Amino acid sequence: MKDYSDIIDLPRPVSKKHPRMGRLERAAQFAPYAALGGYEELIAEYTKAIEKQQDQADTRKKAENVR
């Protein structure tokens, strides 16, 4: 395996074409974004539907126990 001793102390390359990017611009590249638009709303709808089913099942069980 190469130990990189031949390049470890070389200066970092600097582009003459592209100016160095500022911290805020660089940070914006890594900011979170909603890759799946509408996903949160879909999960909320699904959760409500499951809760409604569970409530209906609980209501049926209570009605059967009353009889």
Cα(12)–Cα(21) distance, integer angstroms: 15
Tell me the C-alpha distance between 44 and 11, whole Å. 53
Look at residue 54 and tell me if it is in a domain: yes
Q: What is the DSSP letter of 32?
A: -
Count of structural domains, the chain: 1
pTM as predicted: 0.45
Range of the domain at 50: 36-67
pLDDT value for 10: 94
Condensed to tens digits (0 to 9), the pLDDT of residues 2-49 reads 789 899 999 999 999 999 999 999 888 887 777 788 888 999 999 999
